[in-house]
Chains A and B, each alone.
Chain A
Amino acid sequence: MSNIFNNLFSLGLPKDILNSPSLIVEGNKVIKEIPYPGILIEKHEKLQGLFINITVLENIKPKKPIHLCLSKIGAGSQEIFVDILVGKNSKVKFISHCAFKGKNIKHITKTNFKVKQNAYLDIEEIHYHDKDLDILIDTQSKGVVEDYGTYKSLFKIDKNNAGKVNVTYEVDVLNYASIDIETKMAGRDGDDIFVKDIIYLKGKHSKAISKSRIVALGKMRAEFYGETYGIGDYARGHIDCSEIIRCKDVVLKATPVVVVNNPTAKVTHEAAIGSLDKKQIQTLMLKGYDEDEAVEIIVRGLLK
């Protein structure tokens, strides 16, 4: 066991996961759990994978984030099915530190979430990839944010090879609810990244921001596809995607699609694909940084 943890920490996982409320999963097995009052977690290890049911009772507001770490060391599949229900007036943040090491790894997660009235759910998924990692990542999140609710998510892979990555979000946003979805990724030689955000602004005064940043640091392929539907009265949406090329033989694609069928709704978008701004690089070089250092600083900022 301590061997697994040593592996995880050497990949960059913060040590404080050991003494914070958490659920730590290796492959399809729960290896550690520290409960938090008011958050019920049920686990079922089945043939298809691990099923996790998380229920946050009403009015629960932990001050610190709950850790939900999924990792896989060595070849094989990890398949996780998560159901999250955040009860009325609760406010909770989950941090998923996901660490992977080895060849022929599959990491598949399907998450269903429901954010009840006036509740708040924040999910941050930060990946720690080992140097020679060979991985397929398929992460799908689907959910509803009820009246006055908030959903925030950040998905980030920035170290070493990203792998074959497919990240999908599909969210219904009800009255006065708001969501903020961000994906930040850096890819390298051989990586293939696909990000899809589908947002239905169904409620009146519902709000959504879908933002993605993909930096191609090697020969790779990446695509962002975002659809936001402005359906409810005064719904407001914005898609902001930008992709950055650092070398030749890269295929990047960004498609923001905006569908509005309500005259009071408004959805805007901005999309950009290009190389890093020369002016930014020069500004840092004027402070003594060589080009590689300058690029690293700029990319780190973009993916923060």
Chain B
Amino acid sequence: MLKIKNLSYGKDKKILKNINLEIPKNEIFAIIGPNGAGKSTLSSIIMGLIKDNVDGEIIFENKLINNLEIFERARLGMTMAPQSVAEFEGITVSEYLDLSKKYAINNWFSDKEEVLKLVGLNPKKYLNRFVDNTLSGGERKRIELASILFFGPKFVILDEIDSGIDFTSIEDIGKILHILKDKDATILMITHNEKLLDFATKAALLCNGEIIKTGSPKEIKDFFEKCKVCELEDKIKEVNNRE
């Protein structure tokens, strides 16, 4: 479904280095990595939010999409829930959901109340609220997920979907991932929460702009644990060297 070949990004300092990835159809592919690893940068490049200083190839359904605009990629069936979602003055949740319909790829859902319930929000309370700064971060994030269900993408990047959503609601996220998978979507899930790896079918570890390892979610989870320890050891060495 999505292939990334020899992708590098950055002018002087390389933020991403020679990334190669292949995400088959209907996979829940997780990329895990520490803060600043380059996860969001990679998502932005895949969706076309970043186009300058990008080398390599991004191929979606056998089509090279490097030169396509964000909306052209969306119209091919790709979309993303960004790590931090924008707020909109004067647009209600109900209107916001409608906005997903104009260029929707699949009509999985047509009932706004139903999708809001799926993302754990009470429709009566939320449909007429504004998608502005009066919503909490977690509420806004859930609404974005609802809007993605309304859009019905073939491929979706979820960048830190759990950020701002309470720990107890990890199951809610699992539920949404299942819906997406049931509907035949392919998912790229970006996270630094190991718990989410349990929902993945495949995973990769991104560190310092490089894919260090690709494998089963379990392998990556174990490796990530070790990696964190290495990082700590590196830091200790660094401090010792300085002294």
Which residues of A are at the interface with B, using a C-beta cutoff of 8 A?
Answer: 277, 279-280, 282-291, 294, 297-298, 300-304
Contact = CB atoms under 8 A, between A and B. Distances in A.
A88 B85 CA distance: 47
Interface size class of B (residues with CB under 8 A): 20 to 34
Contact of A285 (B74, B85, B88, B90): B74
A78 to B, nearest CB: 30
Contact of A277 (B69, B86, B104): B86
B71 A288 contact: yes
A285 B89 contact: no
B103 A301 contact: no
B89 A287 contact: no
A280 B89 CA distance: 10
Q: In the complex, which of the residues A286, A301, A302 has the most CB atoms of chain B within 10 Å of its own CB atom? A: A286
Contacts, number: 62
B71 A285 contact: yes
Interface on chain A toward B: helix, strand, loop, or mixed SS? helix
A285 B86 CA distance: 12
Contact of B90 (A283, A284, A294, A300): A300
Contact of B88 (A288, A291, A301): A301
Interface of B: 47, 49, 69-71, 74-75, 79-80, 82, 84-91, 99-100, 102-104, 147, 151
A289 B104 CA distance: 11
A291 B88 CA distance: 16
Contact of A301 (B47, B49, B91, B104): B91
A294 B91 CA distance: 13
Nearest to A184: B90
A301 B70 contact: no
A283 B131 CA distance: 12
Contacts of A283: 82, 85-86
Nearest to A242: B89
A298 B88 contact: yes
B102 A289 contact: yes
A286 B80 contact: yes
B152 to A, nearest CB: 11
A253 B71 CA distance: 33
B49 to A, nearest CB: 6
A287 B86 contact: no
A285 B103 CA distance: 10
B74 to A, nearest CB: 4
B109 to A, nearest CB: 15
Given A282-B70, A301-B90, A302-B89, A287 B100 contact: yes
A287 B79 contact: yes
B86 A288 contact: no
A287 B99 contact: yes
Contacts of B80: 286
A297 B103 CA distance: 14
B49 A282 contact: yes
B90 A287 contact: no
Nearest to B130: A301
Among all A-B residue pairs, the 6 with the closest Cβ atoms = A288-B103, A301-B90, A304-B90, A285-B70, A279-B86, A288-B74
Contacts of B84: 279
A13 B47 CA distance: 42
A303 B88 CA distance: 12
A285 B69 contact: yes
B88 A280 contact: yes
Contacts of B88: 280, 298, 301
Q: In the complex, which of the residues A277, A290, A302 has the most CB atoms of chain B within 10 Å of its own CB atom? A: A290
B104 to A, nearest CB: 8
Q: In the complex, which of the residues A287, A289, A304 has the most CB atoms of chain B within 10 Å of its own CB atom? A: A287
A106 B6 CA distance: 64
Contacts of B85: 283
Nearest to B44: A282
